Structure 1
Amino acid sequence: MKRRFLTRGVVVLGGARTPIGSFLGSLRGVPPARLATAAAAGALQRSGIAPSEIQNCVVGQALTAGQGREAHRQAMSSAGLAPSAPIYRVDSGCASGLKAVTLAAASISLGEVHLALATGVESTSTAPHLLLKTREGGYPLGDGALIDSLVLDGLIDARSGSYLAHVPSFLGFRLLFLVSLQHADAAASRLGITRAACDGYAVESFKRAADAMSQGLFRLEGLRPVSTISPEVPTRIEGFSAALPQLQEHTTRARQQQQKVQQRGSVLHEDEEVGRLQLDRVASARPVFGSTGLLTPENSFKLGDGAAAVVLGAEEETRGRGLRPIAKILSFADAAGDSADLAGASEEALKRALRLAGLQRASLCQTTVNTHGGAISLGHPMGMTGTRMLLSLICALRARELTYGCAVISNGGDSATAVVVEAV
């Protein structure tokens, strides 16, 4: 029997997201702040809420190196939020976007605010490389290492890190399988899952995403097209233009190229990864971990770029204004455990969230999980995925005239977050 977990009812008034760009794909030059602005502005517009009404905003993001101070606040200010609105960022790895939702919901349930915005964003393509140790004395002798912040800050288990020597070179630039996938591979083996089952699920994920795209179901999620044009190139480089004329010439050429792109009107309208699956490569793809491993570049998640946002409100106040919510948040929960047991934390978070909502877990099968595809076929911008999952879940429930659903995601390490919703 359903029971009340939140002391004050919290509803989802609406949401929106950008298309997901493939890693180093069409959105490779778009800064995450611009992606977050697009998603937040779209969510506010679809919810019927003025940006100035938002009283609290939480942004989930895992990678922030080189983006400037409080880039999350810059993004939300560009979306129109008032200077007085508290805006803060949460980093919970792959669960960042869903954790942003639970923190925003908690602020409403506790009576702190009655309108909040939760946003998840990531640009894996713009994550910089780092030259460490230069500030503490540099490199007086010998070589230095260029560190990939995408790996260091987003994909590595800081307690081990030993896997780096085992990442195969054939993975190229489309995908990085790191500790989380190594744990997933081991967990799948323990559960008796076969390579054929992994391949079959991946193919089915792409099929579901392609079907949803062809039926226009992703438009229900409020897709906001994103211009793929990089920020404008300056016409003058202070301190260098006079001394190095070739830099000015290079800048001029870059501007000319930018004008050509503008004339073409390059805009990403749909998720980019969906059409990239090559069926003939699925069964023949080499395992990542050993000759008998289960996971391959074809049947595992793909990195990506994008943002998603949802507007949350106090149930009584929003209904009093005549606003029509799309879902109600019934409960949420976190769980943690051994980082080697990647599935264990997700399972425990799911159980806790369902128990707090007073619901029984129905029999889960492939037909009820990720019905419109998931990170394998759509891509996995780490900070975005949790928010995108919740929005996709709500839209899928409403499209099928179903009532209850749960979004659950691991943080890529030893923890997980789950949210239970009721479509309305």
Structure 2
Amino acid sequence: MTELREAVICSPLRTPVGRYGGALAALPAQRLASHIVTALVQRTSLPGDAVDDVIVGQCYPTMEAAPIGRVAALDAGLPVTATGYQLDRRCGSGLQAVVNAAMQVQTGVSDLVIAGGVESMSNAPYYTEEGRRGLPPGSLVLHDALTRGRERAGGELHLTPEGNLGSAELLRLEYGIGRERQDAYALQSHRRAVAAQESGAFDAELVPVEVPGRKGSVVVDRDEHPRADTSLEALGRLRPALSRSDPEATVTAGNASGQNDAAAACIVSTPERAAELGLTPLLRLVTWAVAGVEPQRFGIGPVPAANKALARAGLGFDDLDVIELNEAFAVQVLACLTEWGIADDDPRLNPRGSGISIGHPLGATGVRMLATLAHELPALDGRFALETMCIGGGQGLAAVFERV
């Protein structure tokens, strides 16, 4: 068997993260995806014919752009020889796109792949399966894709009727994590993200987006989700989402991730091909792992996934300089930290915020995190980073990266 080649990451970029119904809501997912691919090609002066494949993670597609990787490639003006596809591993879709690209490069199937992720949760569809063979008597039921996806990611045998919220509250009970600790962690996330915004730490990874409007176009160049005005008092006043069914519920809109819109992408290639094209690698993929857990405990998925990835890399948590753990819920993050014996305020953990503060545009999140950690590592003079996230339906995904 041919020896595996090295896979490196070049020029990870992202759009700002928009709030649900916010500044980016006017743009469908395919527009966001083609915009980030166009920007990536332009910023790197990448010849279009050098792109072998475009892989884009997305969780809530419509048939307006069915194979969104291919659509993004064509809409970005790449030649028809640049193939593309869409994948869905829920919250891990963006990172999985990067991993798949790396495997194609490592095995010699491709020499250069654009890997990305996109989500427009503001435009997630309502749909029906009832109208194809004629309208049913009475009424036609439309399902909300966002709600339905959370309830059914575990299939018929592992339904989660309370969605991800119920899973988060289950971890709260299992690990005894109170509301005060969750809110304190959420506040920390916002403070770190706001500090990064104000210092310009995100500037190198951000691509502005021009959004058309009735009064003219507006350029969005800043994440909408971080809140500089939040406080423990403000967070404490928010009502838990499941308080009616569970008087002791603790998960609120303030200590959970947002529903968001964004796109992100990077180039995955070999060091040799990158050098030929004048690209500067920032990271190399050391290894990765995926793990399954009970769908009702999906938030703990990063623990077995990260443990497997680190074992394969021959590393421990003490060897890491950055730990990017997506913040689906504060309680979920805190449960993982409890298992790992890591302090809530560890400076290596999400140094510039994460899902609670920056937002969680599902398909884009994994590449958004990658873009952030690629710039965190040199700023901290670090070498190794872990990126990991929980996944609805009961999975965890983790990847170990080394600074080049």
TM over 0.5: yes
Alignment of 1:167-182 (within 5 A): 179-182=163-166
Report the residue type matching 1:111 in the other structure: G
CA drift at 1:394: 1.4
CA drift at 1:20: 0.6
Would you say the 8 A contact 2:189–2:357 is kept in 1? yes
Return the match for 2:241 from 272, 288, 291: 288
Cα distance in 1 for residues equivalent to 2:393 and 2:349? 21
Q: What corresponds to 2:378 in structure 1? A: 398
Return the match for 2:179 from 195, 200, 209: 195
Return the match for 1:64 from 42, 49, 61: 61
Q: What corresponds to 1:19 in structure 2? A: 16
Report the residue type matching 2:305 in the other structure: A
* Of 150-159 and 191-200, the range deviating more from structure 2: 150-159
Report the residue type matching 1:303 in the other structure: Q
Q: What corresponds to 2:355 in structure 1? A: 375
Q: What corresponds to 1:307 in structure 2? A: 263
Q: What corresponds to 2:210 in structure 1? A: 227
Cα distance in 1 for residues equivalent to 2:226 and 2:58? 23
Would you say the 8 A contact 2:299–2:394 is kept in 1? no
Query: Structure 1: which 5+ runs fail to align?
Result: 1-5, 165-177, 231-257
Cα distance in 1 for residues equivalent to 2:45 and 2:403? 18
SS at structure 2 position matched to 1:340: helix
CA drift at 1:296: 0.7
Cα distance in 2 for residues equivalent to 1:277 and 1:179? 29
**What is the TM-score with the length of structure 2 in the denominator?**
0.87
Question: Residues 212-232 of structure 1, C-alpha deviation per residue, up to 9 Å, x if partnerless?
Answer: 0000011121x11112226xx
Q: What corresponds to 1:209 in structure 2? A: 193
Instruction: Work out whether 1:327 is the aligned partner of 2:279.
Output: no
Shift of the 211–292 alpha-carbon distance from structure 1 to 2, 3 Å rule, reads same
Report the residue type matching 1:384 in the other structure: A
Instruction: Work out whether 1:152 is the aligned partner of 2:148.
Output: yes
Question: Residues 269-309 of structure 1, C-alpha deviation per residue, up to 9 Å, x if partnerless?
Answer: 10011137643431121222322122111110100000000
Instruction: Work out whether 1:266 is the aligned partner of 2:246.
Output: no
Shift of the 348–210 alpha-carbon distance from structure 1 to 2, 3 Å rule, reads same
Over the aligned positions, Cα root-mean-square deviation in angstroms equals 2.1
Question: Residues 213-264 of structure 1, C-alpha deviation per residue, up to 9 Å, x if partnerless?
Answer: 000011121x11112226xxxxxxxxxxxxxxxxxxxxxxxxxxx3xx22xx
Question: Residues 128-149 of structure 1, C-alpha deviation per residue, up to 9 Å, x if partnerless?
Answer: 2224411223122x23322212
Cα distance in 2 for residues equivalent to 1:277 and 1:27? 22
Question: Residues 56-92 of structure 1, C-alpha deviation per residue, up to 9 Å, x if partnerless?
Answer: 2211000112424434322221223221122011011
Q: What corresponds to 1:55 in structure 2? A: 52
Would you say the 8 A contact 2:55–2:87 is kept in 1? yes
Q: What corresponds to 2:227 in structure 1? A: 275
Higher relative contact order (CA 8 A, sep 6+): 1
| Fraction of identical pairs, as percent | 30
CA drift at 1:34: 1.1
Q: What corresponds to 1:345 in structure 2? A: 301
Q: What corresponds to 1:167 in structure 2? A: none
Instruction: Work out whether 1:102 is the aligned partner of 2:99.
Output: yes
* Of 290-299 and 63-72, the range deviating more from structure 2: 63-72
Cα distance in 2 for residues equivalent to 1:55 and 1:278? 45
Query: Structure 2: which 5+ runs fail to align?
Result: 319-340
Return the match for 2:274 from 311, 315, 318: 318
Cα distance in 1 for residues equivalent to 2:107 and 2:77? 25
Report the residue type matching 1:292 in the other structure: E
Report the residue type matching 1:372 in the other structure: R
Bigger-Rg structure (1/2): 1
Cα distance in 1 for residues equivalent to 2:366 and 2:348? 18
**What is the TM-score with the length of structure 1 in the denominator?**
0.83
